[in-house]
Structures are given as C-alpha cells and as structure tokens.
Structure 1
Amino acid sequence: MNNNALDHYYNMADILTVSQVLDIVIRLSGEGTTRSELARLTGFSKSTISNHVETLLAENLVLEGSGFSRGRKNSHCIYFNADCGCVISVDVGVTSLNVAVCNLVGKPLAASFQEDVDVNLGPHIILNQAITTAQNLLNHNHIPMTKVFGIGVGIPAPIEFATGRPSQPPLMHGGWGNYPIKETFEEAFGKPAFVDNDVNIMAMAEYEAENTHNDGNFLFVKLGTGIGCGIFCGGKIYRGASGCAGDIGHISIEGNDDLCACGNRGCLENLAGGAAIQKRIQWMAQNGKSDFLASCLAKNEPITCRTLGAGILAQDVACKEFVYQTGLYIGEVMAKLVNFYNPSMVVFGGGLINLGDLLFTGIREKIYRCSTALATRNLQIKCSSLGEQAGIKGAAIMVRDRIFMPSQFSKNYLLFREEARPNTLV
C-alpha cells in the first residue's frame, strides 16, 4: 500500500467526499464514468474530484483506463476495482449449502455447491460446515485472509438485520431461532459479517446484473421450498421496520384453509412452496390422480418436483393442470403486490422456475387479469438468469455495499489500512 497516499487520505478534512465519489463509481462500474461526470453528479469542483480520484487510484480502489462512458468512447474512464479484495459468501438453503469466495462484484473465484443438505441439523453443524468449506476454498486457492473484506450470509428466514439473527424461522428447526449467526462468522474469521434473508441478497445480485436496464423499483420473487420477495425501492433493498418485509409466502389465498407451518391458515407457501408441492403430488400419485405420477410410484421412484417436471414433458394432463393452477395461486398474490407497489419489473428465481412455461402462464394470466391496466402497462415479468449463483453473488455485493457505504467508509477502511493488499487477487 502506498504510504504517501495513506497520509494524504487521512489528512483530508472531509473524508465523506471521498466515499461519495467511490459510491458513485461503484454504482456505475458496469459502464465506467469520467472525472467530469463525477463532478457533475456530486456537485464537487473538478479539482476536488481529481484529488479524490488520485487518492482512490493510489489506494487501488479504482482503476482508470480507456472505455465507454454513457455510450461515448472516452480514453479516461474510472472503474471500481472489483479485485481489490474479496468476500466469503454463504448461501444457506433448506436443502442446500453454497459457499464461495467472490470478488467485490460477486464473481466467484472459488465455489462449493452442495445439495441434499438438511438445514434442520441445526446451526452449529451447518455453520461449522460452511466455515470449514470457506477455509478450504481460501487455502486451496492460495487466497490470503488479508484479502478478505468480510462475510455475507443469506438465510431462508426472517432476519433482524441489525443483529443478524433469525426470528422464528418457519422452515428452519433445530435451534435456528435467535441464533448468533453474525457473531459465529466474525469469531471464525475476524472480519465483519452481514446476514440477511436469502431472497434479499438474490435481489441484490439481480439489481447488480440489471442496474442499467431498470429504474430500481422492482420485485424479486424466490420460488423454492419457501416463497419470499426481495423489494427494491429507488435502487435500494427495502427491509421494513423490523427486517421482515417481503415475506409473501404467508399471504393468504382465497378459498384455502390449510394449516401452515407458521401457525396461520391459507398461506401461499402452503400451496405453492416446494415442500407443499411435493406433499400434494405424493398424494396425487398415491390416489391415482395422475397416471404418470402413479406409474413412478409403482416403480418405487421418488416423487419430487423434478418428477412433476418430467410429467409435464410426458404430457401428463394432471401434472400440467397442477402446475398451471400453482401459477394461478402465485399470480393471485403477485397481482396484489403489483397493484400496491407498481414495480417496473418482477423477476422470478429459485428452483421452481424450472417447472417452466405452464407455471408462468398461470402467473401472468392472474397478474394481468387482477391488476389495474396502469400498473401493468409497462410491467416486465421475467425469470432470473443467475441460477444457483444468485445467492452467493448477492452476499458478496451486500458486504461490498456495507463496507463502502459513505456513512461507514472511514471506519471500515481503517479496519483494512494496515493489512497488505496486493494489486490483484491470486
């Protein structure tokens, strides 16, 4: 690290201006920006911008090179240096555990994707497994801890964001409620950790991928074992007063009175969540409601959501009707959200999107039938292209945004100032 640059940096009268410049560079990192544009966007003088950019260049937080800014060729574009550090990303699912070391835009440098993991083994076993996996990834890829800026964790449960603790998680048993996840990772690695609901971090990854193509007001819906919604408002994730905004899986469906794991009745998740679907198609197989599912059961094959997808490919009428109806259930809730929030885009992710077009036919039909014409006039409804990497990408982006947010920049940067930081990752 350049000591002269550090001296200049810490003698600045207004450190906040440096962080504001860096924040804008990060937001525009996909296409780059120029010193003139930074002056226009911040209101600072060109000389002030020049001084701050030189400091950020010396500290290896930004890069300068030829490129296109706002669609115009420019030989002196400023970019965020995504490889100035890295993040340990952990995406805990009900039946999976994904761990990666990512750069600061969420690109995996090393990753481990594990299926058939039972989250109900409890936090001690699952989190220790995640910690061991992360340590192995760092060691095997020769990435030093001095490069790690923090740990980002996604959990399929309501999270009190300030403390990083789950609150009465309906899908996670075995002692997860109020467990100190944040402290567990901070003690293991000696770095700041941030914990959020898994759908929120997936929404962050989607925004990073789409931020030049939308207005920052969109919904990301995860269709998996559970159903949740990440809410982006004005380019920022909205968590609500207590951190549980977007728990749409427990909005009631008209005419449904089934008891949900949360204790209420009629919840969407109890009809259209992955676990509920599996129970329902098992019943269909056992009671002869689907020739395809019954034949699978007769051959002692497991009846899963993948089996349902195979039934659709086999043109089984009952499977096709089941998936279409499931889409209508989801669309009923989404129509209410579209009317209320008026998003520019709704993006669907999670394993159930693999059920394909029939599911989305039902979703779209219900949204357009039950939402107002104005709310749907320019509405985009699409599937995420990020796949299983959405969670780990979003976890890395969450850490980056928390570390470098203007109100925290000076405190967090001090945390790393004495650590040797080479120019590029190994």
Structure 2
Amino acid sequence: MSAGCVIGVDLGGTKLLAGVVGPDLNVRHRVFRHAREGKGTEQLLDALVEAVEEVRNAAGRELTAVGFGIPSLVDVRTGTAATTVHLPLRDVPFRDVMAERLGVPVAVDNDANAAMVAEHRHGAARGTRTAALLTLGTGIGGGILVDGQVLHGAHGGAGEWGHMVIDVDGPLCTCGNRGCLEMLVSGTALGRAARLAAEELPDSGFGQALRAGREITGMLATELAHDGDPVAREVVTVVGRHLGVGLSNVINILNPEVVVVGGGVIAAGELLLEPAREVVAQRALAPSRDQVRIVPTRFGDASGMVGAALLAMDLVDAR
C-alpha cells in the first residue's frame, strides 16, 4: 500500500468530505464541498467522482481503493444503497457504479457505520465490545457495535437512531413520522430553534445577528453559546436534553460501554453533552446509566471519512 493511496469519502445531507488517509490515519489533500439542493442521482454521483478525482490529482499517487460512507441504508453484501431520506440514492448499486466510474475497488457502508469503524478501531470506542454512535449533522446517523462487530441488521437498517420517536406529537419529520429525534437534536433542529429565538427575542445575540443580515444556523448557535450568550446556551441546553432522552432509550436497549457522539453539532462540546448526561442519569435504568460513558468522537467531523478509508484499506489488504 506504500506505493499507492486510498481515499475516504464521507457524504452527508449537505456536505461532502474526501481525502487521502494514510496508514497513520493522517488526512491529506482534503476536499470539502457543500452539497447543492436539487441534485438528481446522476448529478450526485458525478459530484462524488469529481471530488475523488480532485483528491487523486492532488495526491499525485496511484489510487488503490476508495471507501464511501453515505447517508443511506446500505446492503453491504451487494453494495446497494437501498434508500435515504436526504439524498436521491434509492436502489442504486452504488459500489458497482462507483467502481466502474473510478476504475478501482470500492467499499461502501452507511456513513455512521463508517464512523463507528474509525472510532472503534482507533478512537473513542477503542477496546470496547459494545458501543453506540450518533452523528448529529443535517440529520442523525447511528452505528451499533455488538461483540466487536458493526451491526447492520437484516437489511442494512440497524442504528437509525434519528428516527426514534421521542415526542409522539412533535414536529413532522422528513421520514413522515412526528417527533423523531432528528427533528429535535440535529443541526437542522438546532438552527430551527435559533431562528425561533431570533424572532421572539430581538435583543438576544440571535436577534442582533438577524438584524445584521447573518444567517441564523446551528453553527451560529454553537458560536454564540461558546461566547457565553445566555439565550444561545439555553437553546443548546434544550437540544442537549432532547439528546439525553434519545440516549436514555439507546442505553436501555443496548447497554453499551460507551456512547460516542459526533457530527457537526458536537462542536458545542460539553454545553451539549452535559445536559444530555443529566437526563440520562434521570431516565436511563441502572446499572447501565451509571457505567456508560458518553463522549465525543476522537476524529471529529472526519470520523466518517477515516472509517470509509479504513474499509478501503481492508479491500487492499484482502487482495
């Protein structure tokens, strides 16, 4: 593998991250792109090929394999993207299509499963046998580790924590249900709460940002919260409490040694995790609640990309 390189690609609902990942897990020649709304399947596949080619050209080395983490239910036996809520990847033979377009072996799994691979082998879940992972981004992805192996389920649908209902009369989710965790805890949910605060509290930091023409997003909420803005901190705290409700369910069902939380929303750090831990202490069952660790990812927003690259390395090593 020393003469060539592998590329990991993490595709999200609104972003695409790709890079060369070395055996030391250092990421080089990273490419980040915002996903554009309205893309069809072919446009999305073309954008993935363009990103890989850009990274390949920057590396100037032979490409030996590519790994993809995608926000889809993936049949890992066939490499088919069965369905996804946020992107047009229904019944796409993703592995075969991308291998043909790129001319190299391709590995593919759900993006959160890829993140779990990275965190289990080298990150926050290293050394564990049972673990859960949540990625909080545009939506919420999830990974499950049982007996040291990523659990895919019968049809690739295991770990869809984002569509666990925590409020039966809650807001309508893109999946068609109401009150899904994704609608109350994701980056989209954090941005929605921030915009509501900007409208209802014009003298708050959000209100001032709105008058200044700034976009009111989850990222802004995190920024203001870290700066000590009390309204922003309360918004993040409420999201953290909702996260705690979801984690209580995960902990009661799985009894993991560790719950790893990643994705863009984890930039809020302990401002998000501490309220979540407090709710877990109140709602989850003993002894699970007393022994589980709730921690951020080691690789931050690169977990999915690193995990995807590790899956590609597995292909190379198996040859």
Above 0.5 in TM-score? Answer: yes
Deviation at 1:403, TM superposition (A): 5.4
Deviation of 1:86 after TM superposition, in Å, equals 3.2
1:165 alignment partner AA:
T
Tell me by how many angstroms 1:274 deviates: 1.2
Report the CA distance shift for 1:403/1:233 in structure 2 as closer, same or farther (over 3 A): farther
Separation (CA, whole Å) in 2 of partners of 1:297 and 1:212: 40
State yes or no: 1:367 paired with 2:286. Answer: no
Partner of 2:82: 167
- Given the alignment of the two structures, is residue 266 of structure 1 paired with residue 185 of structure 2, yes or no? no
Q: Percent identity?
A: 29
Query: What does the per-residue CA deviation read over 1:333-385, in whole Å, with 9 as the maximum and x for residues that have no partner?
Result: 11111112111111111110112322112110111111122113332211112
Structural mapping, 1:230-249, within 5 Å:
230-249=143-162
Equivalent-residue separation in structure 1 for 2:268 and 2:152 (angstroms)? 29
Runs of 4+ in 1 over 4 A off after TM superposition: none
Other-structure match for 2:5? 86
Tell me what 1:333 maps to. 246
Match of 1:126 in 2: 44
Counterparts of 1:58-73 in structure 2 under 5 Å? none
Q: Note the alpha carbon deviations across 1:38-88, whole angstroms, 9 max, x for none.
A: xxxxxxxxxxxxxxxxxxxxxxxxxxxxxxxxxxxxxxxxxxxx6375322
Corresponding position: 1:204 with 2:122: no
Offset of residue 332 of structure 1: 0.7
Q: Which of 22, 26, 29 is matched with 1:103 structurally? A: 22
Alpha-carbon deviation of 1:251?
Answer: 0.7
Counterpart among 174, 178, 187 of residue 91 in structure 2: 178
Structure 1: distance between partners of 2:222 and 2:74 = 32
Residue in 2 that maps onto 1:292: 205
TM-score w.r.t. structure 1 length? Answer: 0.69
In the alignment, the residues of structure 1 paired with residue 39 and residue 118 of structure 2 have an alpha-carbon distance, to the nearest angstrom, of 28
Equivalent in 220, 241, 264 of residue 307 of structure 1: 220
CA drift of 1:290 comes to 6.4
Distance 2:125 2:275 in 1: 29
Q: What is the aligned residue count?
A: 319
> Do the aligned residues in 2 keep the contact of 1:157 with 1:198 (CA within 8 Å)?
yes
1:191 and 2:109 aligned:
no
Q: Provide the aligned C-alpha RMSD in A.
A: 2.3
364-373 vs 394-403, greater mean Cα deviation: 394-403
Select the structure with the greater relative contact order (CA < 8 A; seq sep ≥ 6): 2
Residue 223 of structure 1, CA deviation: 1.1
Query: Which amino acid in the other structure matches residue 305 of structure 2?
Result: I
Identify the match of residue 155 of structure 1 among 48, 55, 70: 70
Q: Between Structure 1 and Structure 2, whose CA radius of gyration is higher?
A: 1
Deviation at 1:213, TM superposition (A): 4.8
TM-score if structure 2 supplies the norm length? Answer: 0.91
Show CA shifts across 1:107-151 (max 9, x none).
43x333314222642332233233233234333433124xx0x22
- Please tell me whether the aligned partners of residues 124 and 260 of structure 2 are also in contact (alpha carbons under 8 angstroms): no
CA distance in structure 1 between the partners assigned to 2:197 and 2:31 by the alignment: 32
Secondary structure in 1 aligned to 2:178?
coil
The offset of 1:305, in angstroms, is: 1.2
Give, in whole Å, the separation in 1 of the partners of 2:125 and 2:229.
41
| Cα gap change, 1:139 to 1:259, in 2 (>3 Å) | closer
Unaligned residue ranges in structure 2 (runs of 5+)? none
Give 5+ residue unaligned stretches, structure 1: 1-81, 414-426
- Relative to structure 1, the CA distance from residue 139 to residue 84 in structure 2 (aligned partners, 3 Å threshold; closer, same or farther) is closer
Distance 1:85 1:342, change over 3 A: farther
